[in-house]
Structure 1
Amino acid sequence: MNHQPLELRAGQACLTLEPAYGGMINGLVLPTRAGARDVIAGIGRDECAANPGFRGAVLFPFPNRLRDGRYRCEGRDYQFDLNEPALRNALHGFLYRAEAQVTEGPLVEGASSVSLVYAFDGSEPGYPFRARVQLDYVLYPEGELEVCMSVVNQGTHTIPVGMGWHPYFSLGVALDDCRLALPPARRTLVDERMLPTGQSEPDTRFVEGASLADVELDNCFVLDGQSGRVSARFDSERAGFGLELWQRAGNRGMNFMQVYTSPDRKSLAVEPMSCGIDAFNTGEGLVNLEPGQTFSGVFGVRAYGL
């Protein structure tokens, strides 16, 4: 396995990828009014294989948690390993430990791009299906990254599919000096295992933007009835810039957003997701992909000045 990172550059912007670890994004330098800044709180290269916090990981075939690691598909039961044993859950699928084939990315004028391709032959425990995952990364010199994630069902049976991204964003200052704005959403209510209770409630705390001082979050937000580019905003007057964290919502879109304040209070995870928590069992946002069909999700990040 080639464990070397891959760098993509466009002007002052620089993206650091780990093709051997599911295309994780381990660095993203963007030009801002405060100068070029790395807005990803990454990890050391010696930590990539373990990565217990899933920092920067791209998530497939499901984001978030799967109750007891079990689900049923077309009358058959399947079992994932419980990689969150304390809560007896499977967490974030398995793409994060897969190795990619690196290919040329889409041609976008003025931008740099690369594509990573992951082919699964049906030998993965818990997900014995043939599928092809492609990640297209496009980096713009103005200070924006766009990612398109596509899944093709290459088998002969319908397969369940969910996807997401698990970035930890940093503005270079403590979270207590930052603000967060979220789109209108319902917050999923969860139990002691961080699994959905089946209930949700409107959450307007951050619609107008609010300080993150003394705020702790580990919540899934449902973007009902929204379509197109839907964004969260994470900024800081002290840092002098902010980030628009966007995802394309709508029919079979990225209609869920997990928000998590890191325990060290130095970074914020804003995770675009195509489905809800435990979607393989609840069906919330789950895509059942028929043979030969493709499902795609698009998300990204853009720097802006204050």
Structure 2
Amino acid sequence: MRMFGIRHAAVIAAVISFGHLSVPAGAQEFPIKPVTLIVPWPAGGSTDLSMRAIAETASKHLGQPIVIDNRAGGSGTVGPAGMAASAKPDGYTISQIPMPVLRLPIMQDTTWDPEKDFTYIANLTGYTFGITTANADFKTWKDVVEYAKKNPGKVTYATGGAGTSPHIGTEQIALRAGIKLTHVPFKGGAESNAAVLGGHTMLQADSTGWKALVESGKLRLLMVWTDKRSPSFPDVPTLKELGYPLVYDSPYGIAGPKGMDPKVVAKLDDAFRKAVEDPAVQATMVRLDQVVNY
């Protein structure tokens, strides 16, 4: 099931379409200093880990360091919105662009326009989402549904923020299951991991920042939201197998402020393309259950 309308799809297409540009000689002066890459999530989550791996390799191809700047808040929109409002379009400040940057302007008034306020550079990867729990009574998703039907609103779930794909996805699942859940938003996956581990929420919906916790037995993975079962967790059912005709992967990429020189965009695009093609980066993506989607 596609989550987004025509306008949303058009914006996503704009993100993806910036690949494979040639680099004219006039771009040779860029970069002459480190590049700041805003990651709009707290350190330690799956997006932070993947972006650090990609940035480290991309910096080797750029010839300058790429410095990660974690700016969490607003469901991943504070960092990109701040960049769009105040950063120079010189290529030295760029940002990871999560789906809420594209989605929230459709849902509510925002200070940014995703079609006008960014220069899209490259699409990079997407997520494996799932619902986890540390609750001993929830062995399967069926257990959650049965409990929630008897106790409307008492099942709490943590996410990395309101309007994120885990939030929207969980609400759609709950609607189809005929249950009412209570959302508890945090600033990112590291915080939502802590919430469910500490028993502050009964469930967590997030991408694979929970992977090591599931593998160690500290959390139980009840479902994945991919089209097919995860190779890392072959015994865990997909949403479709549980009777929900839904697939969520939330592809994401990088962008800069509006008005960037196409020659600079091409240099950045080339460095990040080479990074996601690097075997070491791809190994990190496999470890995080993220598929390269350049």
In the superposition, the TM-score normalised over structure 1's length comes to 0.25
In the superposition, the TM-score normalised over structure 2's length comes to 0.26
Higher RCO, 1 or 2 (CA under 8 Å, sep at least 6)?
Answer: 2
Judging by fraction of residues, say which structure has more helix: 2
